[in-house]
A and B are shown apart, each in its own frame.
Chain A
């Protein structure tokens, strides 16, 4: 079983839709969970950073972590064409540890 898994997509939605992106992982030692956005041939841009289980909201973005199910989600409300990118889930065992990335989900928001 891979350490971190994501549906690669591509996911295509109309502008204004609610987008749900998901990730599963196998190692219960992970405690810190992140979502990064990556535009083509650019560096990952941190969107959300959470510790342990629970929800975190920032503007149009909501991150959810369910450690009991080893499942994390990112919701994007009122999606915009500028949200079109690859979304990478990522996690760490400790706050200073290397980041382990998922393979990413490609999202297209159609005007």
Chain B
């Protein structure tokens, strides 16, 4: 069964460093999303991406965040200068047209020290 994959599974970084989280969505999907979940809290929307541009972003998704689809298979989230409060699980999701369930990847756990 096709699935969303994410790498790395765990990323540890120093405050102020740049990180890139990578996702490979399901191959025929056209809509891509990033969400995050701070430990013990609910899953929160960050950004949606369709047709090579951002469709919607939340207030969390400030100038420190960017997304890119560099080729036909990868979808990345970049955090330019990480803060302690960026520590969270980051989930990528994708969906196709029609009956539009979003399927989530296993997540990348980001720890900012």
Task: Please give the residue numbers on chain A whose beta carbons come within 8 Å of chain B beta carbons, in ascending order.
Answer: 32, 34, 36, 41-46, 49, 88, 90, 95-104
Max chain A Cβ within 10 angstroms of own Cβ: one of B48, B99, B104: B104
CB distance from B108 to the nearest CB of A (A): 10
Q: List 7 A-B contacts (CB under 8 A).
A: A42-B107, A43-B4, A44-B91, A98-B48, A98-B56, A99-B93, A103-B42
Q: Across the interface, do B45 and A41 meet the contact criterion of CB distance under 8 Å?
A: no
CB distance from B4 to the nearest CB of A (A): 8
Contact string against A for B residues 52-96, beta-carbon threshold 8 Å, 1 for contact and 0 otherwise: 000110100000000000000000000000000000010101010
Task: Given the known inter-chain contacts A41-B89, A42-B106, A43-B91, please indicate yes or no for A95 contacting B100, CB distance below 8 A.
Answer: yes
Q: Across the interface, do B107 and A104 meet the contact criterion of CB distance under 8 Å?
A: no
Q: Across the interface, do B33 and A49 meet the contact criterion of CB distance under 8 Å?
A: no
Residue of A nearest to B9 (CB): A41
Contact string against A for B residues 31-51, beta-carbon threshold 8 Å, 1 for contact and 0 otherwise: 101010000011111001010
Max chain B Cβ within 10 angstroms of own Cβ: one of A32, A45, A101: A101
Q: Across the interface, do A45 and B104 meet the contact criterion of CB distance under 8 Å?
A: yes
Q: Across the interface, do A44 and B104 meet the contact criterion of CB distance under 8 Å?
A: yes
Task: Given the known inter-chain contacts A41-B107, A43-B107, please indicate yes or no for A101 contacting B100, CB distance below 8 A.
Answer: no
Which among A95, A96, A97, A101 is the interface contact of B43 at CB below 8 angstroms? A101
In the complex, A66 Cα to B93 Cα: how many Å? 27
Q: Across the interface, do A44 and B100 meet the contact criterion of CB distance under 8 Å?
A: no
Q: Across the interface, do A41 and B43 meet the contact criterion of CB distance under 8 Å?
A: no
CB distance from A15 to the nearest CB of B (A): 27
> For the complex, is B102 an interface residue (Cβ under 8 Å from A)?
yes
Q: Using Cβ atoms and an 8 Å threshold, which residues of chain B touch A43?
A: 4, 91, 104-107
CB distance from A14 to the nearest CB of B (A): 27
Q: Using Cβ atoms and an 8 Å threshold, which residues of chain A touch B50?
A: 96
Q: Across the interface, do A49 and B99 meet the contact criterion of CB distance under 8 Å?
A: yes
Q: Across the interface, do B42 and A104 meet the contact criterion of CB distance under 8 Å?
A: yes
7 A-B pairs closest in CB distance: A95-B100, A98-B45, A43-B104, A101-B43, A103-B42, A43-B106, A49-B101
